[in-house]
Amino acid sequence: MSKPFKRILFTGAAGNLGRRLRDHLQQFADVVRLTDAVDFGPAREGEEVMLGDLGNRDDVFRMCEGVDAILHFGGVSTEQPFEPIMNANILGTVNLYEAVHKLGIKRVVFASSNHTMGMYPTTTLVDAGMPTRADGYYGLSKVWGEALSRFYWDRFGIETVCLRIGYCFPEPTTHRQMNTWVSLDDMVQLLHRSLVVPCVGHSITFAVSDNPGRWWDDRHTRFLGYAPKDSSAQFADPLHGAAVDYSTNEDITLKFQGGPFLNNGPKYPS
Amino acid sequence: MSKPFKRILFTGAAGNLGRRLRDHLQQFADVVRLTDAVDFGPAREGEEVMLGDLGNRDDVFRMCEGVDAILHFGGVSTEQPFEPIMNANILGTVNLYEAVHKLGIKRVVFASSNHTMGMYPTTTLVDAGMPTRADGYYGLSKVWGEALSRFYWDRFGIETVCLRIGYCFPEPTTHRQMNTWVSLDDMVQLLHRSLVVPCVGHSITFAVSDNPGRWWDDRHTRFLGYAPKDSSAQFADPLHGAAVDYSTNEDITLKFQGGPFLNNGPKYPS
Amino acid sequence: MSKPFKRILFTGAAGNLGRRLRDHLQQFADVVRLTDAVDFGPAREGEEVMLGDLGNRDDVFRMCEGVDAILHFGGVSTEQPFEPIMNANILGTVNLYEAVHKLGIKRVVFASSNHTMGMYPTTTLVDAGMPTRADGYYGLSKVWGEALSRFYWDRFGIETVCLRIGYCFPEPTTHRQMNTWVSLDDMVQLLHRSLVVPCVGHSITFAVSDNPGRWWDDRHTRFLGYAPKDSSAQFADPLHGAAVDYSTNEDITLKFQGGPFLNNGPKYPS
Amino acid sequence: MSKPFKRILFTGAAGNLGRRLRDHLQQFADVVRLTDAVDFGPAREGEEVMLGDLGNRDDVFRMCEGVDAILHFGGVSTEQPFEPIMNANILGTVNLYEAVHKLGIKRVVFASSNHTMGMYPTTTLVDAGMPTRADGYYGLSKVWGEALSRFYWDRFGIETVCLRIGYCFPEPTTHRQMNTWVSLDDMVQLLHRSLVVPCVGHSITFAVSDNPGRWWDDRHTRFLGYAPKDSSAQFADPLHGAAVDYSTNEDITLKFQGGPFLNNGPKYPS
Amino acid sequence: MSKPFKRILFTGAAGNLGRRLRDHLQQFADVVRLTDAVDFGPAREGEEVMLGDLGNRDDVFRMCEGVDAILHFGGVSTEQPFEPIMNANILGTVNLYEAVHKLGIKRVVFASSNHTMGMYPTTTLVDAGMPTRADGYYGLSKVWGEALSRFYWDRFGIETVCLRIGYCFPEPTTHRQMNTWVSLDDMVQLLHRSLVVPCVGHSITFAVSDNPGRWWDDRHTRFLGYAPKDSSAQFADPLHGAAVDYSTNEDITLKFQGGPFLNNGPKYPS
Amino acid sequence: MSKPFKRILFTGAAGNLGRRLRDHLQQFADVVRLTDAVDFGPAREGEEVMLGDLGNRDDVFRMCEGVDAILHFGGVSTEQPFEPIMNANILGTVNLYEAVHKLGIKRVVFASSNHTMGMYPTTTLVDAGMPTRADGYYGLSKVWGEALSRFYWDRFGIETVCLRIGYCFPEPTTHRQMNTWVSLDDMVQLLHRSLVVPCVGHSITFAVSDNPGRWWDDRHTRFLGYAPKDSSAQFADPLHGAAVDYSTNEDITLKFQGGPFLNNGPKYPS
């Protein structure tokens, strides 16, 4: 079976998601170009490897040269001081979309984050049409990426699917992880749909499995045809059989969707 | 088991849907009256056959005489010049509802169409409360039928379920057909529910199977209890394994829900 | 001062609104072409006069030849049997937009009607994004015109402002007329804005003065900059000092916005 | 496996739901305190029994003393004259929340009712954000309980999950019962989720199984993770094979969600 | 000029609003029946006086006998212990609507209160379609009255206009009073509109003058034609020239619309 | 009359708005601290002057030391290459809010811009609850500021009023300027309200006069009590008497709210 693309770019190959997704990317293209700021080993068959700094315009233009589509998973993915986030996630996306625009690339899949909406209460169902409520510098940098890619769609017709990714690790063990978990297979399915559906415009969707209790409503992106096959219901529910202590309901990591990130954000002394 | 009705009328018996549905109508009534403008063969057991022109008031009154409920599938069902559409779909529905009103018939199931909303982008989730966006004379004539039947509900209490029917053929082979497909069994189930639920008021619903990626949200008509059993996921996905060419995203038959109908509509010379 | 256009077309010159507006149209164009199906006297300076049937395609093409913009006020403007409404208001608008499309005309101001929403209760605030609720064949024909003009915008980029016109007579004398009254000056102002605002897309707005108690919300068309200068508050309020008889609250001409039109619509014998 | 709570209070133990739920409550706490106004037999192992009048403040304070959480199912549960409803359901909830507040109890699960919305048509999909439409004194008393518990959340941070309970009997036999049925197992699951999810704020949800045709949309409370396992589809559909008589569509017990309750409400002579 | 009614009932004549409105009621009816639980002096010309307890069914039936319409301003109008509120405002409205129903009275104007929504933040624009958020027993009792009167409309077609009354005293002196002030003249105008507009259904509106900064949006009741003539802008703004102390923004009487009522509500010891 | 504050900070004193507003700031505080990156002359009586770079954390902390409230008008205010915008508007706001947080300042008025929504069509009414649609780097940087200040409210309770400022120059001369104009007096009134209203939370409002045709709906911030006294209707309407050329309706500077900024944004070569 032929592959959908000749060459795609995947940034952030050294990260958690990059390493887990790597083996699944080959189905999308004859050549998968993998990049990161730090070394992640040599190219395998069907791969190209490039190292570079997203904050460096020339590096980014080199990464994007000759690709048909981009999976942009690079940049900082945890709460950190502002400077590295500004460089990789803000300047980095500016560089990327300038390259995309100049080079005539037509579609990007952008790894956004649920931390764009981390300050919503855990009792609120969030959909992609609601205002963002970031929970720190990291979440704010993803709000930036969503807004920037929206501009490139509105003004230049470049398509982006923004994935607000949940908890993508093998096994959820907390209530928050149960609600936000996404299996690797579902993640790969969503990447596939984001790449191949003929028209996606600028879309914001949720990378989450079919968990009971999930906080996010995908009503704006049903056209993607993403149909998660997995659910956190297959794991032991940490709420089942455990003693309940309501005094924790003042705990901001339980009250707000951002969870533990809320305690990692900007504070003095920063 | 007794049947829900003594006699029902099914218009449009010679059409694609009429021929496919014919064998499934007997469960609804002791006598199924089948009509069309063109000959479609003799009546079978439990059937009555009448020929007539929907644009002819007397013909329509004869068709409606003595029936308990109507499945109105007759009229033009493709994009065509305006005159035949005006006759069959506009004047035809006016005649039909005058007959319904005069004869005291209480419920109609009206075959509307997804082309009432064909100018919505394929990235938009459409529900029955949103303004119509027809994609040509055919779609506009179905907007007319929905508005006319709404009037008969608001003013005279005559109930209608408008079915915005998707792609009702045995096998979908394009992305658009995958999203809009409705199986014959699901279609029959929806007819059944539309006929037997005690109160339906004036409702607009979507005749579509449980396809991933469908564009339509049935939130306004869940009370019908329609639970599709089929899904286009059972067919080979035309997007799977195919080469992607984003340059087609300027193609209006991909950008808008109406698909190929957009190229068949009114144009000069008409 | 130069005029905005070289030549505009005003259809329906013999009607109530046509006769009242006639003297105010000269400000819009060097030449005002006036048309109707029935004679309304000779052209004055700066005018052209044409007679013709909107249901006749050739007539309509002649009317539209060489004009920069159209004020389409022609057709049936009262509740009547369906045939004349179908000819003038349905076939008539189809003919008009085919001409507009062929001849490259870019903007139409379409005289729609509040009877597109006459089946809304008088206690409901209606805006242009809500589903239509016509109160008879006349109102339905205006729903048709709004849907048809929407199609020409969605598909071909032809702009239309649909005016849902209220009670445009010199003096309101009933509660309904007080709520729906529009002064001639406000009407002229609204025509001016509809013609000169640079971008109008497909818009539906309400031609009504600044009456207390009005039923319609113009939130979707504030961009027109229409600022009514008149109000029915300047007239004696028919509710003031009059005896109240609540038993009339079952009167459909008081319960629904369409008022007396509700008693004039399709009925048997029609 | 340890139990979530040391002691919970269940009021209304002698009622239909109380008797059916009793055997399922032990999983929630080491001690289940059961109360009602009328005798329902002796305590079993792991149970405490108290009798008392919800309209009596002292009784209520005694019931609430020393419990970790409350399942408030007590009070009148049918349409009745106003006085007993006022005593048990209005004064009773006032007493209960005063006790809850004084005693520092943090969460209540309140048995509200679908009769808070019984005057919505059966063609309307109701969600928890829509205005209530009670169908009699009983439904109004549940509106009171929802509003009162909202106040205790807004003002004092006391959490309540209001359950608008459907038809919780073993077997549905009417169309209305099919749409509103909730199985005992689903009911127990919902109680569990309402008790153990870390943050619930003030929530209104629907205790209903996964029936096709259900009238209620749980979009505001998906965070509870309630995933019904049962559906009325497992029972014979009373609409299937039955003769249809549309003349019943004027029957208020079919037109409105409240069903037969509409004929039991306040009337003269009351 | 003749008067709109023969006889109307005004309950609560001894209260603040009752005393201020008394002289303005004669324009509405030949006879104004004034009632309260406490003595308020003898009847003047064109008045009838009755004393009685709203919690007493017989008293209420006597009050309502022979009247054409009711202005129900009686009952408790401040935060108090629950028992008197239950008697006058809960049982009282039940008695009133039973009388209204039995006696065939068709319209009530009900003095509800802004305290039905006192727990909304002062930064929120509230409209009548949003859920209530009462700020104490008094506000909850007004939620009850609104829900009860809604039932009588839904079920029996009895019309009620609920007035959520703001600060109706001669002169506002705090920021909250500036935003919620209603002049006596505007109040009287609103009573007039509520009585004479032909159809009002069940409506909830805001009795407030045209103050800048008001918190309430009357979009659902524009049909009343209420056009306030006064504004608190005519008074000295307490915020102008005063020193700002942001530390007060934790003050619940400033954060929530209910203001000082929030400190008067149910608390332990109650 | 005493002044509301002891000391306020106004950043951006050398800019267009800074220079026009300077003389009006003294009413707000005993001492007005004025800052900018470039020299703007000596302090006058009641003023302090500081120069500094918003991208420099130490500079920003010095500016904020000892002030009661901040009017943040500093930074880049035109479309420019990304680097200066990143420094002043992104890093600058990060520095500012870190200082605000550390120093315990409770309220900021942030000069956002209508270019946060410049990609909305001119036919769309925009309110503060709708997703942003920036029209270039400048607009995106203001989206950043709004999102960052939202975070400081959600997480730390620091209040900000974001002003999406229109065209604040003495005289509007284009259609776009007519719709977006704000007079200096209205601007000053809005600053006053933003500073003195007791609770503002995180609010986004529109700094625009009462122009007919304005594109923005302030429904979310009526509580501010901002009542514009001016209107662009006092100026000659550039659309009045001018020739209309519909061919310009493809002109993006007329189709989108951002106007000429759309042609100044990021492009290749950037």
pLDDT of E269 reads 47
- Please report which confidence band the pLDDT of residue D267 belongs to, taking 50, 70 and 90 as the band edges: low
Handedness of CA C150, C152, C157, C161 (dihedral sign): negative
Amino acid letter, D5: F
Phi/psi for A120 (5° steps) reads -75, 140
User: Chains that contact D by 3+ CB pairs under 8 Å?
Assistant: A, B, E
**What is the three-class DSSP state of A73?**
coil
The rounded distance, in Å, linking the Cα atoms of B104 and B158 is 9
pLDDT of E264 reads 87
- CA atoms in the 13 A half-sphere facing the CB of B226: 31
Q: Which residues of E touch F195 (CB under 8 A)?
A: 244
pLDDT of E267 reads 67
Question: Quick one: average pLDDT of D208-220?
Answer: 97
For residue A81, with 0-12 CB atoms within 10 Å meaning exposed, 13-18 middle and 19 or more buried, which class applies? Answer: exposed
- CA atoms in the 13 A half-sphere facing the CB of D203: 30
The chain-wide mean pLDDT, for chain C, equals 96
Q: Do A217 and D222 touch (CB under 8 A)?
A: yes
- Please report which confidence band the pLDDT of residue B267 belongs to, taking 50, 70 and 90 as the band edges: low
Q: Name E72's bridge partners.
A: E11, E110
User: Chains that contact C by 3+ CB pairs under 8 Å?
Assistant: B, E, F
Nearest Cα of chain E lies from the Cα of D187 at a distance, in angstroms, of 26
The rounded distance, in Å, linking the Cα atoms of F5 and F7 is 6
User: Chains that contact B by 3+ CB pairs under 8 Å?
Assistant: A, C, D
Q: Do C199 and F123 touch (CB under 8 A)?
A: yes
Q: Do D121 and B199 touch (CB under 8 A)?
A: yes
The chain-wide mean pLDDT, for chain F, equals 96
The rounded distance, in Å, linking the Cα atoms of F35 and B57 is 81
CB D266 within 8 A of CB D136: yes
B186 close contact with D: CB closer than 8 A: no
Q: Do B5 and D244 touch (CB under 8 A)?
A: yes
Cα C65 to chain centroid, rounded: 22
CA distances from D12 to C76, D85, D103, D194 (A): 66, 14, 20, 18
A147 close contact with F: CB closer than 8 A: yes
Count of beta carbons in the 10 Å neighbourhood of residue E129: 12
Nearest Cα of chain F lies from the Cα of E176 at a distance, in angstroms, of 10
Interface of E with C in 81-100 (CB under 8 A): none
pLDDT of D264 reads 87
Token pair recorded at residue F195: 């500073």
Task: Give residues with Cβ within 8 angstroms of E66, minimum separation 6.
Answer: E7
pLDDT of F266 reads 80
DSSP E52-75: --TT-HHHHHHHHTT-SEEEE--S
Give this prediction's pTM.
0.97
The rounded distance, in Å, linking the Cα atoms of B129 and E123 is 30
Which tens digits make up the pLDDT trace of F182-215?
Answer: 999 999 999 999 999 999 999 999 999 999 999 9
Interface of C with E in 98-127 (CB under 8 A): 121-125
| pLDDT of D21 over the 80 cut | yes
C270 close contact with B: CB closer than 8 A: yes
pLDDT of D226 reads 98
DSSP 8-state symbol, C197: S
Best residue in F106, F108, F199, F210 to probe E by mutation, most E CBs within 10 Å? Answer: F199
Q: Name C104's bridge partners.
A: none
CB C72 within 8 A of CB C110: yes
Handedness of CA C91, C94, C100, C102 (dihedral sign): negative
Which tens digits make up the pLDDT trace of B149-164?
Answer: 999 999 999 999 999 9
Token pair recorded at residue A187: 């993640």
CB D33 within 8 A of CB D44: no
| pLDDT of C148 over the 90 cut | yes
Share of chain F above pLDDT 90, in %: 95
Q: Do A212 and D197 touch (CB under 8 A)?
A: no
Task: Give residues with Cβ within 8 angstroms of E239, minimum separation 6.
Answer: E175, E178, F196, F197, F198
Closest CA to B65 of B4, B3, B8, B5: B8
Share of chain C above pLDDT 70, in %: 98
Residue of F nearest to E248 (CA): F198
Residue of B nearest to C128 (CA): B131
Token pair recorded at residue A30: 């004859």
Token pair recorded at residue D251: 């029957």
DSSP A155-221: HH--EEEEEEE-B-SS---SHHHHHHB--HHHHHHHHHHHHHSS---EEEEEE--S-TT--EE-GGG
Residue A138 among the catalytic residues: yes
Question: Quick one: average pLDDT of A140-157?
Answer: 98
Task: Give residues with Cβ within 8 angstroms of F38, minimum separation 6.
Answer: F14, F51
**What is the three-class DSSP state of F242?**
coil
| pLDDT of D238 over the 70 cut | yes
Phi/psi for B111 (5° steps) reads -75, 90
Which tens digits make up the pLDDT trace of D29-80?
Answer: 999 999 999 999 999 999 999 999 999 999 999 999 999 999 999 999 999 9
User: Going residue by residue through chain E (270 aa), what tens digit of pLDDT does each one get?
Assistant: 689 999 999 999 999 999 999 999 999 999 999 999 999 999 999 999 999 999 999 999 999 999 999 999 999 999 999 999 999 999 999 999 999 999 999 999 999 999 999 999 999 999 999 999 999 999 999 999 999 999 999 999 999 999 999 999 999 999 999 999 999 999 999 999 999 999 999 999 999 999 999 999 999 999 999 999 999 999 999 999 899 999 876 899 999 999 999 998 786 544
**What is the three-class DSSP state of A145?**
helix
CB E222 within 8 A of CB C214: yes
Amino acid letter, E36: D
Nearest Cα of chain C lies from the Cα of F165 at a distance, in angstroms, of 18
The rounded distance, in Å, linking the Cα atoms of D165 and D207 is 5
User: Buried b / exposed e across B85-112, counting CB within 10 Å, b at 16+?
Assistant: bbbbbbbbbbbbbbbbbeeebbbbbbbb
Which tens digits make up the pLDDT trace of E110-163?
Answer: 999 999 999 999 999 999 999 999 999 999 999 999 999 999 999 999 999 999
**What is the three-class DSSP state of F222?**
helix
Q: Do A154 and F140 touch (CB under 8 A)?
A: no
| pLDDT of A269 over the 50 cut | no
Q: Do D155 and E262 touch (CB under 8 A)?
A: yes
A160 close contact with B: CB closer than 8 A: no
pLDDT of A19 reads 97
pLDDT of F248 reads 72
Question: Quick one: average pLDDT of F49-54?
Answer: 98
Nearest Cα of chain F lies from the Cα of A249 at a distance, in angstroms, of 16
pLDDT of D140 reads 98
pLDDT of C166 reads 98
Closest CA to C129 of C190, C207, C205: C205
Nearest Cα of chain E lies from the Cα of F52 at a distance, in angstroms, of 27
Q: Do E242 and F5 touch (CB under 8 A)?
A: no
CB E88 within 8 A of CB E72: no
Domains of chain B, each with CATH number or no CATH: 5-263 (3.40.50.720)
How many interchain CB pairs under 8 A, A with D? 72
Best residue in F58, F100, F153, F155 to probe A by mutation, most A CBs within 10 Å? Answer: F155
Q: Do F155 and A147 touch (CB under 8 A)?
A: no
The rounded distance, in Å, linking the Cα atoms of E222 and F164 is 29
CB E265 within 8 A of CB E228: no
pLDDT of E250 reads 81
pLDDT of C44 reads 97
Question: Quick one: average pLDDT of A247-256?
Answer: 87
Q: Which residues of C touch F233 (CB under 8 A)?
A: 227
How many interchain CB pairs under 8 A, B with C? 96
Question: Quick one: average pLDDT of A145-168?
Answer: 98
Length of chain D in residues, anyone? 270
Handedness of CA E130, E136, E138, E144 (dihedral sign): positive
Q: Out of E138, E152, E167, E226, pick the active-site residue.
A: E138
ipTM at complex level: 0.97
Q: Out of B97, B120, B137, B138, pick the active-site residue.
A: B138
E42 close contact with C: CB closer than 8 A: no
The rounded distance, in Å, linking the Cα atoms of B154 and B144 is 15
CA distances from E23 to B206, D39, E34, E47 (A): 60, 58, 12, 10
**What is the three-class DSSP state of C152?**
helix
- Please report which confidence band the pLDDT of residue A267 belongs to, taking 50, 70 and 90 as the band edges: low
The rounded distance, in Å, linking the Cα atoms of A219 and A181 is 19
Best residue in B89, B94, B156 to probe C by mutation, most C CBs within 10 Å? Answer: B94
For residue D52, with 0-12 CB atoms within 10 Å meaning exposed, 13-18 middle and 19 or more buried, which class applies? Answer: middle
Nearest Cα of chain D lies from the Cα of B148 at a distance, in angstroms, of 20
The rounded distance, in Å, linking the Cα atoms of B43 and B33 is 9
pLDDT of B270 reads 47
Q: Which residues of B touch D217 (CB under 8 A)?
A: 219, 222
| pLDDT of D1 over the 70 cut | no
The interaxial angle of helices D92-103 and D137-156, nearest 10 deg, is 20
| pLDDT of B171 over the 60 cut | yes
Closest CA to C110 of C75, C78, C137: C75
Which tens digits make up the pLDDT trace of F211-233?
Answer: 999 999 999 999 999 999 999 99
Nearest Cα of chain B lies from the Cα of D204 at a distance, in angstroms, of 19
A265 close contact with F: CB closer than 8 A: yes
Q: Do A144 and F148 touch (CB under 8 A)?
A: no
